[in-house]
């Protein structure tokens, strides 16, 4: 392609203009010849480009290109965050140019000897940090492929933020860093404000600086000092688990990115209580004592009657159900007569407890493979000795089992659509519904004889929809809701 970028050279991950000269353009582009990403520069409004690779990193694995996905600049000073170094938590380092990209260097001086380390990636230690890893002193879990950004103060090019799982700040042009938020920090306690992990974007606009994370948006000043969290009025959340009380208005659930939450009807203005934990499909309410709640990542808690209040630890459940995601999740199902009598699917087994989960008795093992799990459980309100259980038999095969004597004997029900996942729901009239994850054709069936025979009730309105869950609507004439 000579020196003109036509889009044939490779994938572009960033395009930036020089702050004081809009005719100068930089692109981060993959170079297929050497199998790496490079910075190419144009000084004629993008008509021609020249690679600028003096001081650049050369990958040791020719089959794994290096990604330069984040780029920031101020005048002639440019900073780059290099990602995708194999085996080193995908981190190369922060590179700097003081001559508008003509040459590059790594200013980081982790050991404090006054000289740049000049070390690409790991090994990492307390004297050589990894800015992508969840723990900066080792190459553990990272998300450089998902959330990473870097931006520089408009008033001082030596002050900048680097965000990945954690947020870091440098005030000396990249020679040293301080932990500034996320899972690891040493500066947050000084201002008393928590900064959420998983940094998605950093935007510097003069005296206003904004950092977006999985927890919302934070504001910083021109020197990148924390000002405030701007999350009031942002009330949405993605619940991976959910449960509610019987006699009191208590709601709990494990949230995507934001840990476990609880709501009680005395909490005013829709406020909820953050309990800790993170990203677990969990949340269960004790239906006898509704302020006792349970999550598989933090255990049992007694939530306060009012806010602010003290959350107290209580005895945990001795088991938690299988939790992967609908429909591959089991549940805790209550006997409609007794709040402390519950059933639960754990591994390939159905368990029963008479003291709300402090102790369990094995009721039924479905096969011998623990990976073939028990999923949905339904119990009859008319005859609590009758239960229906969905079991993953393996190989995509699902079966529904029925007992009418409290689990002593079991009957396998007919398979309507083989090799498809399914959900079941039972209403107060003992009408049983099943929904298969079939995108086209038949997918929803109804039985009025406890599953011995079925009627296809699929309509054209369901075409193209994969039903992930089905729930009967009490108090209606056979009403139900399907979720796709």
Q: Rounded to whole angstroms, how far apart are CA atoms 308 and 311?
A: 10
12-229 and 318-484: identical CATH topology = yes
Q: Rounded to whole angstroms, how far apart are CA atoms 85 and 69?
A: 13
Cβ of 3: how many Cβ atoms within 10 Å?
Answer: 11
Write down the pTM of the prediction: 0.72
CATH assignment of 318-484? 2.130.10.10
Q: What average pLDDT does range 181-208 have in this prediction?
A: 80
- Give the model's pLDDT for residue 73: 63
Percent of the chain at pLDDT > 70 equals: 90
Q: Which sign does the torsion angle of CA 55, 61, 65, 69 carry?
A: negative
Q: Does residue 6 carry a pLDDT above 50?
A: no
- Give the model's pLDDT for residue 84: 63
For the ranges 57-66, 273-282, 387-396, 423-432, which has the lowest average pLDDT? 57-66
Domain ranges of the chain: 12-229, 235-316, 318-484
Q: How far is CA 23 from CA 18, 49, 59, 78, 103, in A?
A: 8, 12, 31, 16, 19
Asked whether 195 and 181 are in contact (CB, 8 A), the reply is: yes
Length of the chain equals 484
- Give the model's pLDDT for residue 216: 84
Asked whether 235 and 276 are in contact (CB, 8 A), the reply is: no
Kindly state which CATH superfamily the domain 12-229 is placed in: YVTN repeat-like/Quinoprotein amine dehydrogenase (2.130.10.10)
Cα-Cα end-to-end distance for the chain: 48
List, in sequence order, every beta strand (DSSP E) within 286-412.
292-295, 299-302, 312-314, 332-335, 338-346, 349-353, 361-365, 374-379, 387-394, 397-403, 411-412
Q: Rounded to whole angstroms, how far apart are CA atoms 329 and 346?
A: 10
Cβ of 125: how many Cβ atoms within 10 Å?
Answer: 13
Asked whether 458 and 443 are in contact (CB, 8 A), the reply is: yes
């Amino acid at each position: 392609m000579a020196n003109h970028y036509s889009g044939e050279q490779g994938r572009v991950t960033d395009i930036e203009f020089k702050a004081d000269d809009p005719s100068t353009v930089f692109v981060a582009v993959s170079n297929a010849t050497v199998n790496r990403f490079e910075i190419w520069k144009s000084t004629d409004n993008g008509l021609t480009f020249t690679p600028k690779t003096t001081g650049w990193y050369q990958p040791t694995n020719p089959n794994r290109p290096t990604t330069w996905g984040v780029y920031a600049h101020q005048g002639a000073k440019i900073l780059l965050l290099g990602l995708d170094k194999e085996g080193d938590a995908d981190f190369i380092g922060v590179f700097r140019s003081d001559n508008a990209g003509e040459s590059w260097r790594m200013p980081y001086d982790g050991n404090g000897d006054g000289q740049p380390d000049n070390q690409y990636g790991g090994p990492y230690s307390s004297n050589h940090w990894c800015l992508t890893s969840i723990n900066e002193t080792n190459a553990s879990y990272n998300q450089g492929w998902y959330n990473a950004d870097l931006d520089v103060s408009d008033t001082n090019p030596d002050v900048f933020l680097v965000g990945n799982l954690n947020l870091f700040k440098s005030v000396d042009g990249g020679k040293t860093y301080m932990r500034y938020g996320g899972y690891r920090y040493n500066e947050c306690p000084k201002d008393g404000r928590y900064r959420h992990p998983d940094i998605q974007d950093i935007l510097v606009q003069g005296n206003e600086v904004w950092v977006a994370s999985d927890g919302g948006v934070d504001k910083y000043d021109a020197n990148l000092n924390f000002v405030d969290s701007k999350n009031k009025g942002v009330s949405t959340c993605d619940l991976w688990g959910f449960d509610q009380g019987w006699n009191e208005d208590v709601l709990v659930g494990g949230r995507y990115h934001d840990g476990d939450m609880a709501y009680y009807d005395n909490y005013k203005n829709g406020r909820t209580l953050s309990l800790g934990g993170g990203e677990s499909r969990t949340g269960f309410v004790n239906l006898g004592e509704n302020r006792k709640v349970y999550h598989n990542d933090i255990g049992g808690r007694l939530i306060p009657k009012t806010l602010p209040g003290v959350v107290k630890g209580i005895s945990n459940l001795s088991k938690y159900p299988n939790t992967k995601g609908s429909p591959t999740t089991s549940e805790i199902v209550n006997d409609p007569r007794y709040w402390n009598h519950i059933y639960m699917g754990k591994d390939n087994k159905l368990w029963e407890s008479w003291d709300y989960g402090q102790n369990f008795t094995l009721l039924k093992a479905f096969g011998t493979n623990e990976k073939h799990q028990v999923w949905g459980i339904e119990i009859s309100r008319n005859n609590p000795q009758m239960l229906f259980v969905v079991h993953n038999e393996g190989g995509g095969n699902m079966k529904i089992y029925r007992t009418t004597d409290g689990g002593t004997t079991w009957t396998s029900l007919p398979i309507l659509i083989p090799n498809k996942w399914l959900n079941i729901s039972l209403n107060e009239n003992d009408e049983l519904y099943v929904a298969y994850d079939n995108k086209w054709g038949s997918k929803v069936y109804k039985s009025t004889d406890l599953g011995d025979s079925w009627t296809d009730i699929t309509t054209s309105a369901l075409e193209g929809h994969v039903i992930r869950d089905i729930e009967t609507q009490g108090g209606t004439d056979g009403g139900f809701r399907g979720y796709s």
